[in-house]
Structure 1
Amino acid sequence: MSPDSVTRGSVRSADDLNRAIRALWLGPGGHPAVPLDDERRAEYARLCAELQAVERGDVTTAA
């Protein structure tokens, strides 16, 4: 997913995004859910792109 596809104006912090990414990899009982299905893989890519934008400072918080 390209960084340009990340929605500007996100209010999620890097910590929130990291928690969401880790949660995708955990299955029932907190065990790793490997491999990810197509839906979870797409969500992972979207979250990683959003996190990269936050880390670069490309995302601003709405007033």
Structure 2
Amino acid sequence: MRSADEINQQIRALWPHPAVRLSTEQRARYERLVVEWAAAVRGEVVKAA
């Protein structure tokens, strides 16, 4: 599993500014990355506990 930081960097690279509109493909990729990021964050919290 990739780290939340690594996934977050990909999200930021995909969507550099909130005013930028994403294409349908980019939006789908963004949504997949957000789900993956959330899972990574949960995993990191569990490890820390």
TM-score of the superposition, structure 2-length normalised?
0.75
Note the residue ranges of structure 1 that are not aligned, 5 or more in a row.
1-9, 27-31, 58-63
- Name the % identity: 55
Give the Å deviation of 1:51. Answer: 0.5
Deviation >3 Å, runs of 4+: none
| Number of residues of Structure 1 aligned to a counterpart in Structure 2 | 43
**Higher-helix-fraction structure:** 2
Superposition CA RMSD, Å: 1.8
Note the residue ranges of structure 2 that are not aligned, 5 or more in a row.
44-49
Instruction: Decide which structure has the larger Cα Rg and report it.
Output: 1
In the alignment, the residues of structure 1 paired with residue 42 and residue 5 of structure 2 have an alpha-carbon distance, to the nearest angstrom, of 14
